[in-house]
Amino acid sequence: MNDLSSIAARHEPFGVHLMIDGYDADGSLMTDPDGLRALLETLPGEMGMHAICAPTVVSVGPNCHKDPGGLSGFVMIAESHISFHTFPARAFVTIDLYTCQTGLDRQRTIDRLLRAFQLSDADVHVQERGLRYPAENLKPGGSAAAAL
């Protein structure tokens, strides 16, 4: 099933999954729901993507010793999604951006997010997704959107 020759032969992945774990986060977004919502409203357009719903930002109280609470934000985009989870008491934020847009300017997006959360230290992971995504439809019929 995971034949490496077929993966190597694939000309383009389906998308890109960008994940950032930010440490020593000192930006106002860590505790500012309006600022986080504004970022979720503007970021898709800056990256050439398209929001398909209004951003949601919620305050989440402490869940356990590991999770002292913070803000969680999410926006669904036509190309997939962007989400953030802030942990102000730990000066830590997780950022998740998944897009089918393989031409994403990764470094520009990473730099934009590091600045937004004023991160001086971060682990950045970029994972190509859908390495075996079919180049053509495998089944006849309409799209899932048409079924809604």
Smallest Cα–Cα separation from 25: which of 127, 123, 125, 105? 123
Tell me the residue range of the domain where 30 lies.
12-133
In a domain, 126, yes or no: yes
**Rounded to an integer, what distance in angstroms lies between the CA atom of residue 30 and that of residue 33?**
8
Kindly state the helix (H) or strand (E) to which residue 20 belongs, with its residue range: strand 15-23
What are the residue ranges in the chain where pLDDT is below 70?
1-11, 142-148
In a domain, 138, yes or no: no
- Residue 18: its pLDDT value, please? 96
Ordered DSSP codes for 21-88:
EEES--SGGGT-HHHHHHHHHHHHHHTT--B-S--EEEEE---BTTB--EEEEEEEETTEEEEEEEEG
In a domain, 141, yes or no: no
Place of tokens 């999604």: 81
- Residue 5: its pLDDT value, please? 54
- Residue 6: its pLDDT value, please? 52
**28-61 pLDDT, tens per residue?**
899 999 999 999 999 999 999 999 999 999 998 8
- Residue 13: its pLDDT value, please? 87
End-to-end CA distance of the chain: 32
Q: DSSP secondary-structure letter at 128? A: E
- Residue 3: its pLDDT value, please? 55
In a domain, 5, yes or no: no
- Residue 68: its pLDDT value, please? 80
- Residue 40: its pLDDT value, please? 97
Q: How many domains does the chain have?
A: 1
CATH number at residue 124: 3.60.90.10
